[in-house]
Amino acid sequence: AMRVLAAYPAAFPEGSTMTGLGREVREKLEMVSNEPVVAVVLPRESGASAGAIAQTLENIAQLVPSLIESQQQQAIKAVVEALMPKVMPLPNVLKEAE
């Protein structure tokens, strides 16, 4: 039998990850049927490591929003830099830098 790992919204009362057999997961997923869900079916031999895999995915999921925000800020900065004319520093600024 395959083992199933499901990650779902943190608002779910039991947490954001859960492991178990497909039938066990299906019962709990019915409670969040209108929420986004990520499910991974693991090979049978991965059953013992399902908890570690679940924790790893939960940790990654927590990082994704800040990574997306960082990428968006970098993209905006790149666009602004591409649109802005290159301006030479004022002579007094150059003198202070020396």
Determine how many CB atoms are found less than 10 A away from the CB of residue 27.
10
Q: What is the structure's pLDDT at 43?
A: 76
Q: What is the structure's pLDDT at 9?
A: 52
Q: What is the structure's pLDDT at 60?
A: 85
The residue segments making up the domain with residue 66 are 3-97
Q: What is the structure's pLDDT at 52?
A: 85
Q: What is the structure's pLDDT at 13?
A: 47
Please say whether the dihedral angle defined by the alpha carbons of residues 14, 16, 20 and 22, taken in this order, is positive or negative.
Answer: positive
Q: What's the structural domain count of the chain?
A: 1
Model pTM score: 0.53
> Which tens digit of pLDDT belongs to each residue from 12-67?
544 467 777 888 888 877 777 777 777 777 777 766 788 888 888 888 888 888 99
With tokens 């990654």, the residue in question is: 60
